[in-house]
């Protein structure tokens, strides 16, 4: 099997680059097989945030070649009884991850064909056997490398377990009515301070909203109103004045809020999660 016949490895973690954890993971991969290609998804997921890990998989996974092995390590329960697994998605990818909620969005959106618990008696770096706190290196990275190199096949990962036992976070659905849509901000764009809602563009259009509309927008945090004004809904940021808030269709085909050449999150103190609700009505 040549280099370009082997699956690509993509890694995302909450490790950052402040110390050597990412380097050590990649060193293990290259020790297993020098030919394996490694790419970064992100290493800036908020610490311990398995919801964000799940969402970032949804955001990027389908844009990689079929067969890609995505290693997602946000693991607040490392070393405990939580399962370490490899999931095979129905759209042709593998995800190597702790089973702690990180599979939530891809299970819902793409479906999971099969999931297997990593057999640590076989697929575990032996030189660090006494370490319980770095499964990104010793278990997930090592198993992903063995799978990508062809040393093991998917069945060689370990025993299968029921897909319905996969740990998932609850996902809130938007409420769509004529001229009104209610939802939540489910994630942010941390570099630019944009807030991404759970409301698909198709639902927004179905409720009667069109590009160019001024939309009454109310944002509440735990029931307390923090933003209430009419904002422009348009295709992209350049349609609004610099410094002005607006609504747009984001890369996930969902309604999002931004400040043109600014930060919605910083300027208005808005975050994301189930307690950040948003309501859009016709002006």
Q: What percent of the chain has pLDDT over 70?
A: 99
Q: Is residue 170 a part of any domain in this protein? A: no
Q: What is the mean pLDDT of residues 212-229?
A: 98
Domain of 248, CATH number, reads 2.40.30.90
Ramachandran area for residue 41 (φ above 0: left; ψ -120 to 50: alpha; else beta): alpha
pLDDT band at 5 (very low <50, low <70, confident <90, very high): confident
Q: Is residue 52 a part of any domain in this protein? A: yes
What is the per-residue pLDDT across 53-68, written as a single tens digit (0 to 9) for each?
999 999 999 999 999 9
pLDDT band at 283 (very low <50, low <70, confident <90, very high): confident
Q: Are residues 21 and 120 in the same domain?
A: yes
Within 13 Å of residue 238, how many CA atoms lie on the same side as its CB? 0
Q: In what order do the strands lie in the sheet with 94-98?
A: 38-42, 9-13, 69-73, 94-98, 84-89, 112-117, 160-161
**pLDDT reported for residue 2:** 57
What is the per-residue pLDDT across 70-79, written as a single tens digit (0 to 9) for each?
999 999 999 9
**pLDDT reported for residue 1:** 55
Q: Are residues 154 and 26 in the same domain?
A: yes
What is the per-residue pLDDT across 244-271, written as a single tens digit (0 to 9) for each?
999 999 999 999 999 999 999 999 999 9
Q: Are residues 202 and 117 in the same domain?
A: no
Among residues 146, 165, 184, the one where a domain terminates is 165
For all residues of the chain together, what is the average pLDDT? 97
Q: Are residues 145 and 210 in the same domain?
A: no
**pLDDT reported for residue 160:** 98
In which domain, by residue range, is 263 found? 175-282
């Amino acid at each position: 099997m040549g280099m370009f016949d082997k699956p690509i490895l993509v890694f995302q973690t909450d490790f950052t680059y402040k110390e050597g954890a990412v380097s050590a993971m990649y060193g293990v991969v290259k020790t297993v097989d020098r030919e394996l290609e490694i790419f970064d998804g992100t290493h800036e997921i908020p610490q311990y945030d398995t919801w964000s890990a799940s969402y970032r998989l949804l955001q990027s996974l389908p844009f990689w070649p079929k067969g890609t092995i995505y290693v997602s390590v946000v693991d607040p329960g490392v070393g405990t009884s939580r399962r370490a697994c490899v999931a095979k998605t129905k759209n042709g990818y593998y995800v190597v991850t702790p089973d702690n909620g990180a599979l939530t969005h891809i299970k819902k959106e793409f479906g999971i064909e099969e999931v297997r618990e990593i057999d640590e008696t076989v697929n575990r770096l032996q030189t660090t056997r006494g370490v319980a706190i770095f499964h990104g290196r010793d278990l997930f990275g090592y198993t992903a490398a063995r799978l990508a190199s062809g040393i093991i096949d998917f069945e060689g990962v370990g025993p299968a377990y029921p897909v319905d036992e996969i740990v998932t976070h609850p996902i809130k659905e938007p409420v769509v009515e004529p001229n009104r849509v209610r939802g939540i901000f489910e994630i942010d764009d941390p570099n630019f301070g944009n807030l991404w809602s759970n409301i698909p563009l198709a639902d927004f259009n179905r409720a009667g909203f069109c590009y160019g509309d001024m939309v009454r927008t109310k944002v509440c945090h735990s029931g307390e109103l923090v933003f209430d004004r009419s904002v422009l809904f348009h295709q992209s940021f350049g349609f609004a004045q610099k410094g002005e808030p607006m609504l747009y269709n984001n890369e996930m085909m969902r309604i999002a809020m931004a400040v043109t050449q600014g930060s919605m999150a910083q300027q208005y103190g808005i975050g994301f999660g189930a307690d950040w609700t948003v309501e859009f009505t016709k002006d």
